Structure 1
Amino acid sequence: MLWPATHLDFDGINDYVNCGNAPAVQISGNAITLEARVKFKSFAGSFNDGSIINKEQNSPDYGYMLRAGSSGIVNFNLGNGWWNELSSPSYSVTTGVWHHIAATYDGSTMKIYVDGVLVASQVRANIYFSSTNQNLMIGSWSNIGRYLNAAVDEVRVWNVSRTAAEIQHYMNCELSNPTSQTGLVAYYQFNQGIDSADNTALTTLADSSATAYTATLNNFTLNGTTSNWLSGSSVVTGSTCSILSSNDFAFNFENVKVYPNPSSGIFQLQIQEEVQLEVYDLMGKMVLQKNVQAGAAFFDLSQYASGVYILKATNVFGDTIVSKIVKE
Structure 2
Amino acid sequence: MKKKTTFLAILCIIIFGWVEAQTLIAHYNFDNSLNDETSTYNLSASSGFTPTFVTGQDGTANGAVTGFASQDFLSTASNFEIDGSEPRTMAAWINANSLPGSGQAIVGLGEQSQYKRWTYGTLGVRSRIEINGKGFNVPSPDFVTGVWYHVAVTFDGTTAKLYVNGELKQTNTTWAVVNTTSAPLKVGNDYNAVSPALSTRGFQGAIDDLRIYTGAANDAFILSLYNNTVLSVNNRNDVSTFKAFPNPVKNRLYFSSNEIASVEIYNLLGAKVIASKVSNGIDMSQLKLGIYLLKCFNSNNEVVGTIKITKN
TM-score (norm 2): 0.50
TM-score (norm 1): 0.48
